[in-house]
Amino acid sequence: MSIPKKSMQPPRIAERILSGIFPDRGWYTSLGDFREEFAYIAADRGLFRAQLWYWGQLLRSVGPFLCNLLYWSGIMVRYAIKYAVRILRRYKGYSCVNIAGLSIGIASCLLIGMYISFETSYDDFHTHADQIYRYDTIVQDGDESRVYDSTFLSIGPALAEQFPEINAAARFYFKGGAPVIQYGDKRFYEENFTFGDKSIFDVFSLRLIKGRPETVFQMPTSIVISEKTAEKYFGSDDPVGKTLGYFYELYDMTGRIEFTVTGVFRDIPSNSTLKADFIAFFDSVHDAGVFSKIMGEYIANFFTTYVLVDNTVSIPDLEEKLVQFNKTTLEKTYGPNKTGSVKLTPLISIHLSKPERVKALYTFGGIGLMILFIACINYVNLTTARSAHRAMEIGIKKVVGAKRIQLMVQFLGESVIIAFIALCAALLLTAVMLPLFRGFLGIDIYFVQFLTPGNILFALISVCCVGVLSGSYPALFLSAFRPLLLMKKITVSGRSAQYVLRKILVVLQFAISVILVTATLFISKQVKFMRDADLDFEKDNIIILEIKEQDMIPKIEVIKRELLDHPNILGVSATLGVPPDLLFIPEKARKSSEEPSKSRRFDLINVDDDFITAYGMSLQAGRDFSPEIATDKDNAIIINEKAASLLGLTDPVGQEILLSDRKHTIIGVVRDFHFRSLKNEMTPYVLALGAEVIHYISVKIHPENSAYTLEHIKKIWDTHAPDFPLSYSFLDDDIFMEYNTEENFGKAFQYSALLALFISCLGLFGLSAFLFEQRTKEVCIRKVLGESIHGIIILFSREFIKLILTAIVIAVPPGYLIVSRWLQNYPFRIEIDLITFVFSGAVTLVIAFSAISYQAVRAARSNPVDSLRYE
Amino acid sequence: MKLLSRPEELVLLAVWRLKDNAYCVTIRRQISEVTGKDWSFGAVYVPLDRLEKKKYISSNLGEPTAERGGRSKRFYSLTPDGVDALLKVKEIENAMWEGIEGLSLDNIA
């Protein structure tokens, strides 16, 4: 028989595939069979038919082949699981340490992930979330341009009318402060009260439980309320048709509107920019003439306007058109010289437009990953350390014929299984921790809302990744052993690569922990520093009473006098604003000799003549305001040192300066005071008398018997303002709360530092257990030869202590960088001192040592006979 | 003892008939010719493997040939057990057929 021509051979690829899936015990006789048949068919019916036949044969075998593969790999997986479970049971201690560490790591990642997904999911519950934009106005005032997240009254309706690409526009009016809402004898201050257009139901996805969107806003005095508000005011009664009293005050107008509840909407989720429990029909106040009155006097651009844009529209083009529109509309209303621009801000981007929120997300995301990383390190370290125990197993498996890939699959399988067990434990842990976490962050997140198929899939995939990642080193490492060495029980010597790697990983773990601990210490120091700092006024024993009704203003003098009659009340001052969020009027200040262009911005605070005494501020020069001197009301001002130095005045008292071109005489200088929180730079302040608008009364009391004094204040208040419940707070509390964000940030760091340290120590605990176990014989011989217990402890701890000291040293530079970066945010900040680093290092060292010493003591105290007699 | 399946029976018979030239290609061709259906290689390999496992046939490798791309043929031959099993099937079949007369399609209607 002649050798067939090359062209008479079957397709190469097909043959390759066939030989791959059908090895036929390595003889490949079947390939020969196929080839022979191919040649036969080719000779008989042509090459093409033969090739067709060959491919047909191949295709037919693919299905059964895959089934077979699945079946056998299923069996392999079953064995892998069986084996993993056996190993887990056999080495309970290791398994516990592994699973505990990993599950804590995963749980903290889950919690942080929930927080991140909560923060990034803001406003996406609206059906057309990506088509909703806020109409922001940019007002050009000279060189300064200011961005307002709101616009003018007439803009909203005109938008919907004139632009076909805008499907709907809805205006909101959020009045500052919390109005009083009354139903029968129930009366509360309500923060989430807003006025809204009819069209809010077109723009936002507010689900009405009672009432229909088309009909709820028919009368001007309609109001829709949230489910929980309905419950709060009306209990189980039907709220529809009930009336709610609303007390308003706008500048100098006060009044009461009776609103009729026409609908109830489902509570707005907490991840919403729009926060509302009451939405009153916009026309109510509009009709009462309130807005139009303001319009006459002010350029009122405080109407937050949202538009629903058609999804085919290009936003930059629309913005361009809107700028022109904005201009013409405003010119019609306010005359030609107001210029400004327009920006459409996507609703979904509003929440994260604040850089500190994004920063927080990145910070916590990073911390979560770091904790997970530390937990993974534990796994790698413990598994490689344990490898000696399993050397025999691996050796025998290899001798019997296990391929390297099979061993790798086995180890990866084990670590994935551990990761899954850890995931289950982590889920439990998360469920338990969630209420705490919720309270801590003050956000409403629930487990159920994260149980979406996407998230579950993501969790499963990431756990697989964690398993594979943490198992990959041991898998590569253990499967590479030469069987002979394994069988001869030559364990890996101290200088080997894995030993070095383990050391590096431990150092890394502890370095991260030390950084977190140090950061925590510095953050809490900074918070304490800001809270305890001398603000150059007396913040203690001052009670702040809030005035909700401007009708009271004429009575203020009487109230002040009555309050002062009480022996425990040392001072009373009525002002527009109080620290820490101060209401101020920006003023352009200059000396009369200076050009107007040289003027600088000062903040003017309206006070009364008792203010400086009540707040215990110290006058550096000049005098306080006096009721006896009539001119004080018109043009006397007191400035702080910062203002004086900015003006370049060495002896400011008696000098005249111009505030927005009006002449004022400086009658005194006070020491720089921190009315705003210490997160702000020192501001140049101007104090002036002014009593038209008053929002707060500050009452300086004697520290003793403050409860009685408060009782007295309440009595006086109730006789003068029976309609408004007394709302008061202590000034030092208010100032204390200014730093809550920082405190929470610090707490978050504290928890993560604790977790990192705990997981690292857990790993160290397991690792030391293993290493001591390996050296039991050495310990015993040393003991027999007369070494003392603490000698042994020192001997064996030394190695670990060295690692931890290295970690501490390594942690200092990045720790310093991180802390100093963070402190840059604060103009008044603490020094970064070495002591804190030393302290955090010492804390870490002590904790780590206690983790090792348990094992060391156990090893040192064991009876030599127990371990030596087996030899 | 388990009875042979029909493919196994056919394969055994083919091996017996082909004597020294019984390997997969020829076996397949033989069966395909007799039954008038195109048997795939898989349909022959499976009973061959099974029979070999049951020790009804034994196999040995031949010399590699060029026309097979340098692969050997695997020749099969019947073992005494295999012959035994075939005879047994035959016996049972005979016994089952005995006394059945006039089995034709006409009788069913």
Task: Identify whether the C-beta of residue A551 lies closer than 8 Å to the C-beta of residue A254.
Answer: yes
* CB < 8 Å to B72, chain A: 27, 29, 32
Q: Which amino acid is at A51?
A: Q
Q: Quote the minimal CA–CA distance from B72 to chain A in Å.
A: 6
How far does A36 lie from chain B, in Å, by closest CA?
Answer: 5
The verdict on a CB contact (< 8 Å) between B67 and A34 is no
C-alpha span between A662 and A341 (Å, rounded): 31
Between residues A515 and A342, the one the model is more confident about = A515
How far off is chain B from A79, nearest CA to CA, in Å? 26
Q: Which chain A positions have a beta carbon within 8 Å of B23's beta carbon?
A: 29, 33
Sheet holding A728-730, edge to edge: A569-575, A696-701, A542-546, A728-730
Q: How close B89 gets to chain A, by Cα (Å)?
A: 29
The torsion of the CA quartet A752, A757, A762, A764, rounded to 10 degrees, works out to 150
As given in the structure block, the two tokens for residue A68 are 């077979």
Nearest to A29 among B66, B67, B73 (CB): B73
Residues in chain B: 109
Closest approach of A765 to chain B, Cα-based (Å): 55
Whole-number Å distance between alpha carbons of A82 and A89: 11
Our CA-based measurement puts residue B37 at a distance from the nearest CA of chain A, in whole angstroms, of 15
Q: Give the Cα separation of A245 and A188 in Å (integer).
A: 11
Give dist(CA A18, CA A55) in Å, integer.
Answer: 10
Q: Specify burial of residue A714 (Cβ count, 10 A radius: 0-12, 13-18, 19+).
A: middle
- Residue A290: predicted pLDDT: 61
pLDDT over threshold 90, residue A809: yes
What's the CA gap between B15 and A459, in Å, rounded?
58
For residues A20, A24, A25, A27, the Cα torsion angle rounded to the nearest 10 degrees is: -100
Residues of B in contact with A64 (CB under 8 A): 42
> How far is the alpha carbon of A27 from chain B, nearest alpha carbon, in Å?
8
Q: Which two tokens stand for residue A792?
A: 């042994």
Mutation target vs A (from B28, B71, B72; most A CBs, 10 A cutoff)? B71
Q: Note whether B67 contacts A36, CB cutoff 8 Å.
A: yes
- Round to whole Å and give the CA distance between A104 and A112: 12
- pLDDT of residue B107 exceeding 70, the answer is no
* pLDDT for residue A321 is more than 50: yes
Q: Which residues pair with A140 in a beta bridge?
A: A145
Residue A204 near residue A210, CB atoms below 8 Å: no
Specify the higher pLDDT residue, B70 or A296.
B70
Partner residue facing B67 (CB), from A1, A30, A61: A1
CA distance A35 to chain B (A): 5
B30-41 confidence digits (pLDDT tens): 999 999 988 888
Question: Which element (helix H / strand E) includes A562?
Answer: helix A556-565
Give the span between the Cα atoms of A523 and A830, in whole angstroms.
10
As a whole-number percent, the residues of chain A with pLDDT over 70 amount to 90
Of the candidates A3, A39, A57, the beta carbon closest to that of B41 is on A57
Q: Does A31 contact B71 at a Cβ distance shorter than 8 Å?
A: yes
Taking residue A227's Cβ as centre, other Cβ atoms within 10 Å add up to: 17
Contact B68/A57, CB-based, under 8 Å? no
Instruction: Give pLDDT, residue A722.
Output: 75
Cβ <8 Å between A39 and B67: yes
Is A8 part of the contact surface with chain B (CB cutoff 8 Å)?
A: no
pLDDT of residue A249: 66
For the segment A467-479, the average pLDDT, to the nearest whole number, is 78
The beta-carbon neighbor of B71 closest among A3, A28, A61 is A28
Using alpha carbons, list the distances in angstroms from residue A644 to A268, A617, A631, A655: 50, 16, 22, 11
The residue of A33, A35, A38, A59 whose CB has the most chain B CBs within 10 angstroms, and thus the best one to mutate to test that interface, is: A33
> What burial class does residue A636 get, using C-beta atoms within 10 Å of its C-beta: 0-12 exposed, 13-18 middle, 19+ buried?
buried
What pLDDT does A816 receive?
93
The mean per-residue pLDDT over the stretch A350-362 comes to 85
| 3-class DSSP state of A717 | helix
Question: What pLDDT is recorded for position A264?
Answer: 92
**What are A622-638's pLDDT values in tens digits?**
888 887 877 777 788 88
HSE-up (13 A, CA, CB side) for residue A760: 32
Q: Cβ–Cβ of B40/A35 closer than 8 Å?
A: no
Alpha helices in A91-139 (DSSP H): 92-120
The alpha-carbon gap from B61 to the nearest alpha carbon of chain A, in Å, equals 8
Instruction: Looking at the complex, report in whole angstroms how far the Cα of residue B87 sits from the nearest Cα belonging to chain A.
Output: 29
Which residue in the block uniquely carries the two structure tokens 């898998």? A475
The stretch A764-783 carries a mean pLDDT of 81
Phi, psi of A812 (to 5 degrees): -65, -50
Q: Are residues A33 and B68, on separate chains, in Cβ contact within 8 Å?
A: yes
CB distance A268 to A276 below 8 Å? yes
The DSSP bridge pattern shows strands A728-730 and A542-546 to be antiparallel
* pTM recorded for the entire structure: 0.72
pLDDT band at A493 (very low <50, low <70, confident <90, very high): very low
List pLDDT tens digits, range A150-164.
887 778 888 888 888
Which of A19, A25, A36 is the best substitution to test chain B (most B C-beta atoms within 10 A)?
A36
Which residues in chain B have Cβ-Cβ distances shorter than 8 Å to A60? 40, 42
Closest by Cβ to B69, choosing from A1, A27, A31 = A31
- Give dist(CA A515, CA A523) in Å, integer: 12
CB contact under 8 A, A31 and B65: no
* Least confident among A241-250, A772-781, B99-108: B99-108
pLDDT of residue A806: 93
Q: What does the alpha-carbon distance between residue A849 and residue A505 come to, in Å, rounded to a whole number?
A: 17
Nearest chain A alpha carbon to B75: A29
B chain contacts of residue A27, beta-carbon cutoff 8 Å: 61, 71-72, 74
Residue B25 has its nearest CB partner, among A27, A36, A60, at A36
- The DSSP code sequence of A489-517 is T-PPPTTSHHHHHHHHHHHHHHHHHHHHH
Q: Which of A281, A288, A277, A275 is nearest to A260 (CA)?
A: A281
The reply to whether residue B67 touches residue A30, judged by beta carbons under 8 angstroms, is no
Q: Where are the beta strands (DSSP E) in A231-277?
A: 243-250, 253-265
Q: What is the pLDDT of residues A112-171, one digit of tens each?
A: 888 888 888 888 888 888 889 998 888 766 666 778 888 877 788 888 888 888 888 898
Tracing tokens 């900040």 back to the chain, one arrives at A829
pLDDT of residue A472: 81
What is the tens place of the pLDDT at every residue in A195-231? 888 888 888 888 888 888 888 888 888 899 999 889 8
List chain A residues with CB under 8 Å of B73.
29, 32-33
Nearest-by-Cβ selection for B72 from A4, A29, A64: A29
Q: Is the pLDDT of residue A3 over 50?
A: no
A700 φ, ψ to 5°?
-90, 120
For A182, A293, A633, B50, the CA distances from A251, given in Å and listed in that order, are: 21, 10, 21, 98
C-alpha span between A281 and A211 (Å, rounded)? 14
Residue A376 has pLDDT above 60, yes or no: yes
Residues of A in contact with B45 (CB under 8 A): 30
Please report the pLDDT score of residue A251 as a whole number.
58
Which residues touch A230 (CB under 8 Å, ≥6 apart)? A239, A261, A264
Burial class (CB in 10 A: 0-12, 13-18, 19+), A574: buried
Of A9, A29, A60, nearest to B71 by CB-CB distance is A29
pLDDT greater than 50 at residue A58:
yes
CA distance A751 to A728: 34
- Contact predicate A430/A111, CB 8 Å: yes
Q: Which residue of B has its CA nearest to A37?
A: B25
Q: Given this model, what pLDDT does residue A494 score?
A: 45
Q: Cβ contact (<8 Å) for A27 and B73?
A: no
Which range is most confident: A77-81, A191-195, A534-538, A863-867? Answer: A191-195
How far is Cα A567 from Cα A608, in angstroms, rounded to an integer?
A: 21
The whole-angstrom distance between residue A204's C-alpha and the CA centroid of its chain comes to 25
Q: What is the pLDDT of residues A229-258, one digit of tens each?
A: 898 888 888 888 888 888 776 655 667 788
Give A1's pLDDT tier (boundaries 50, 70, 90). very low
For all residues of chain A together, what is the average pLDDT?
82
User: Given a cut of 50, is residue A297 above it in pLDDT?
Assistant: no
**For residue A673, what are its two tokens?**
């005071």
Q: How far apart are CA A431 and CA A310, in angstroms?
A: 41
Residue A836 tokens, joined: 């804190």
Peptide bond into A580 cis (omega under 30): yes
Interface touch A33/B23, C-beta < 8 Å: yes
Position B101 pLDDT exceeds 80:
no
* Token pair listed for A41: 């068919």
Best-predicted range by mean pLDDT (A53-67, A590-604, B18-32)? B18-32
Per-residue confidence (pLDDT) for residue A405, from 0 to 100: 79
**Interface touch A29/B74, C-beta < 8 Å:** yes
Count, in order, helices (H) and strands (E) of chain B.
5, 2
Q: What angle do CA A214, A151, A354 make, to 5 degrees?
A: 100
Taking the CB of residue B32, how many other CB atoms lie within 10 A of it?
Answer: 15
Residue A850's region, left for phi above 0, alpha for psi from -120 to 50, else beta, is: alpha
Closest-CA distance, A13 to chain B, in angstroms, reads 15
Shortest distance between the Cα of A396 and any Cα of chain B, in A, equals: 28
Own/partner pairs, A774-781, CB within 8 angstroms, 24+ separation: A774/A388, A774/A491, A775/A859, A776/A859, A776/A862, A776/A867, A777/A867, A777/A868, A777/A871, A779/A859, A779/A860, A779/A862, A780/A862, A780/A864, A780/A867, A780/A868, A781/A864, A781/A868
CA dist., res. A655 & res. A643, Å (int): 13
The residues facing A226 across adjacent strands are A265
Judged by CB atoms closer than 8 Å, whether chains meet at A39 and B45 is answered as: no
> Which residues between 22 and 81 in chain A have a beta carbon less than 8 angstroms from any beta carbon of chain B?
27-37, 39-40, 57, 60-61, 64
Contact at 8 Å (CB) between A367 and A516? yes
Chain B residues contacting A via beta carbons under 8 Å: 23-25, 28, 40-42, 45, 61, 64-74
pLDDT-derived band of residue A352, with 50, 70 and 90 as boundaries?
confident
- Condensed to tens digits (0 to 9), the pLDDT of residues A683-734 reads 888 888 876 677 888 888 888 888 888 888 888 888 887 777 788 888 888 8
CB atoms within 10 A of CB A432: 11
Partners of A66 in the beta sheet? none
